[in-house]
Homo-oligomer: A and B are copies of this chain.
Amino acid sequence: MSARTVSRVVNNEYGVAEATRKQVLEAIEELGYRPNLLARALITKRSGTVGLVGGDMTDPYFPALAEAVHHRVSESGRTTFFACTGNDPHRQDMVLRSLWSYAVDGVIVFPAPDSIDQLRGYARLGLRIVVVDDVVDAPGIACVRFDLVTGARLGVRHLLDSGRRRVGMLASELSPPRRRRRESGFRAAFDDAGLDHGAIVRAPPTVQGGEAGIDRLLDLQPDLDAILAYNDVMAIGAVRAVEARGRRVPDDIAVVGFDDVELSAYVRPALTTIRLDRSLLSIEVTRALHSFIDAPGDRFDPVVLPVELVVRQSA
């Protein structure tokens, strides 16, 4: 009974006598043998695992997406591990280095700011990467993103249609210029309408960031009557800050967010928001990954996902 034979049985390969197979299986059972995946991965350069690396677990957008990705990935028999970068390129480097050197079959990443060259480097090393919300043209890197420009337009139009005219924007300070597509859409919508948009303020994309941002925005432009926020948690912070200043949402100031996180339906007033459908994203992102893993090529056409306005109470 050679290692070769055992290897065949363990990996369900053809060409092993039924009697032998049974014998091996029994021995495996009896000895509690478990193949060392490390050794296997060292040779095959494959580990049967996938990494999902996000920026901030604490943003409720991430967990449900992670769960969805896990499910889709597990259909191919792989297990997925999550990691977070805190939107710090250096921390992202450590995470990717670990993941790469443990031979993950691929990673899905929400890139930290200014980390595109880093990603290119890992792709060159052979890591298969799916980038969310950015576009980088390089072999081994696939890109999936939402149509945020249209999203912002949808939000602004809804605000304009309901008579708002002094609309400010609460943007994320973590977005590098190339990724400020919500801001582009925001501006474009006003250009379309031949109107002027209000101030744009950048803050951390968190509840606290939303609160702080509103304070600055309202100082800049006290007569504001509507706000488009970078994401739902900022929008929630915005609502809190607006109310803390004694103004009401949506009567005095309307608020529109991005994401459509579960929370947004529970909060009061329930949030009007641009839905970035996580189910859709999980499908496309794992489709891209699987195409990389199972196919020989290293190219994948960028995909742009549609968004949708969800009208609730805040605007």
| Chain B residues positioned under 8 Å from A240 (CB to CB) | 266
Question: Nearest residue in B to A237 (C-beta to C-beta)?
Answer: B266
Residue in B58, B66, B98 whose CB lies within 8 Å of A79: B98
- Within A58-83, the residues touching B (CB, 8 Å) are 58, 60, 62-64, 66-67, 70, 74, 79-83
Question: Which residues of B have CB within 8 Å of A70?
Answer: 84
Question: Is A58 touching B47 in the complex (CB atoms < 8 A)?
Answer: no
Q: Which residues in chain A, 1-49, are within 8 Å of chain B measured between CB atoms? A: 34-39, 41-42, 47-49
Report the Cα distance A72→B180, complex, angstroms. Answer: 33
Q: Which residue of B lies closest to A98 (CB)?
A: B79
Task: Report the minimum CB–CB distance from A110 to chain B (whole Å).
Answer: 14
Give the complex CA separation of A210 and B83 in angstroms: 30
Q: Do B49 and A58 have beta carbons less than 8 Å apart?
A: no
* Chain B residues, Cβ within 8 Å of A62: 57, 63
Residue A247, interface by CB 8 Å: no
A38 touching B42, Cβ below 8 Å: yes
B-binding residues in A (CB < 8 A): 34-39, 41-42, 47-49, 51, 56-58, 60, 62-64, 66-67, 70, 74, 79-84, 86, 91, 94-95, 97-98, 101-103, 125, 207, 236, 240, 262-263, 266-268
A-B contact pairs, 18 of them (CB 8 A): A35-B101, A36-B42, A37-B102, A38-B102, A39-B42, A41-B102, A48-B98, A49-B98, A49-B102, A57-B64, A57-B82, A58-B64, A60-B63, A67-B84, A82-B83, A102-B102, A207-B266, A268-B268
